[in-house]
Amino acid sequence: MILFLKSIVFASDFSRITAAVGLWSWAAISLALASQVVFYRVSRNTPGYIKTNTEGLDPKELLMGIDLSSSTFTGSWSQLCPTCKIVRPVRSKHCPICKQCVEQFDHHCPWISNCVGKRNKWDFLVFLCMGIATTLLGAAVGFHRLWTEPIILSSSESWTHFMVTKHPGAVLFMFMDIFLLTGALILTVAQAVMIARNLTTNEAANQSRYTYLRGPDGRFRNPYNQGWQKNCAYFLVNGYNNDEEAAWPTLQQTVE
């Protein structure tokens, strides 16, 4: 924001900014400030930590103290967490960085220094979308300022060389802005695809490790996929993925 204001909006080596461009500039600044609020929210809020059961238990006894009679236990040993001493729900995972199990664990994001899970995935998606809008507006204003700036080039000088030497701050901002825009776009598309499939990033990356992601024939099958329309609608309304299994045909029914 500081570089944008100093090198693009109020830069002394640029011509005076027009009212329309100034309006879009302040819109970008407003979005950037709002993004900081969402950033704080998504980085500080719980992603869906599951309460541990380690009090009074020996950490060296990996499976001692775990209540196997829990209603969430489906018989899969991957549900047992030797660190938290709990039977974690299906689709959850222990994060070695946060040192806790997270419901609907998606991934640990270094951008927000927090896990992305059931309780903050909606905020994470909003943060990404606001990041795209902010950097897109910033890039548009920056490109407009550079492109419409009246310049006089010598016969041996290129437009790019002139801008790099005369407006280094603006060029640096454009490079940083496009880099962030590219990263935000990739993350947003990846998250949108996962939401449409009702799948987490962790499940997509480690599908061979989870038995619930295999059908009777041994092939990959997502039991939670209700179709992209229902998956997206459920997420938009509730803010997290639907854990109810879809009604899939049996192997015999599939063969028939």
Collapsed DSSP state (helix, strand, coil) of residue 67 = coil
**Which runs of E-coded beta strand occur in 117-242?**
none
What's the distance, CA 73 to chain centroid? Answer: 29
User: If you ran DSSP here, which 8-state letter would residue 209 be given?
Assistant: G
Q: Is 232 a catalytic residue?
A: no
Owner of token pair 């927090």:
114
- Identified catalytic residue from 109, 115, 129, 232: 109
Contacts of 255 by beta carbon, 8 Å cutoff, 6+ apart? none
Q: Are 90 and 79 in contact (CB under 8 A)?
A: yes
CA–CA dist 104, 55 (Å, integer): 24
Q: Residue 30: which of 138, 159, 120 has the closest Cα? A: 138
Q: Are 88 and 79 in contact (CB under 8 A)?
A: yes
Q: Are 121 and 240 in contact (CB under 8 A)?
A: yes
Q: Are 206 and 214 in contact (CB under 8 A)?
A: no
CA–CA dist 253, 210 (Å, integer): 24
Q: How far is CA 172 from CA 6, 8, 166, 179, in A?
A: 12, 11, 12, 11
Catalytic residues: 109
